[in-house]
Amino acid sequence: MIASAPKWLIPIYQAAGRKYDIPWTVLAAIHKEETDFDTTGNDVSSAGALGPMQFMPSTFAIFGVPAPGHKTPSIYNVEDAIYSAANMLHQEGFSQDPYYAVYAYNHSTVYVHAILHMSAT
């Protein structure tokens, strides 16, 4: 499934993954699952999550970081959203417990299994 990721996004997943010690395939899997690789930033979930990686605004306020070359993180910018997802997973302890970190991103065991399976982590 992540093989269908837009090729131009792969270096962004990889760079964010390297910076925050997260497998880039996990970031791609979350992006695929959340918005099917949308890059417009126009997505809004029924729960109120926003942008390409579907952050709740309150969560983005905690974990949002700007991508390289950006000054202020935007929940709607695909690069900022990818870096912010990597930051959140890192801060939630992905390297010690991937399951917990992905669960912190989306509180669904089905979601966690889908992400870990899709990313082969």
Per-residue model confidence as pLDDT tens digits over 84-94:
999 999 999 99
What amino acid occupies position 70?
Answer: H
pTM for the complete prediction? 0.96
What amino acid occupies position 97?
Answer: D
pLDDT digits (tens, 9 = 90+) for 30-76: 999 999 999 999 999 999 999 999 999 999 999 999 999 999 999 99
pLDDT digits (tens, 9 = 90+) for 7-25: 999 999 999 999 999 999 9
d(CA 30, CA 53): 7
Q: What b/e readout covers 91-121, taking b as 16+ CB neighbours within 10 angstroms?
A: ebebeeebeebbbbbbeeeebbebbbebbee
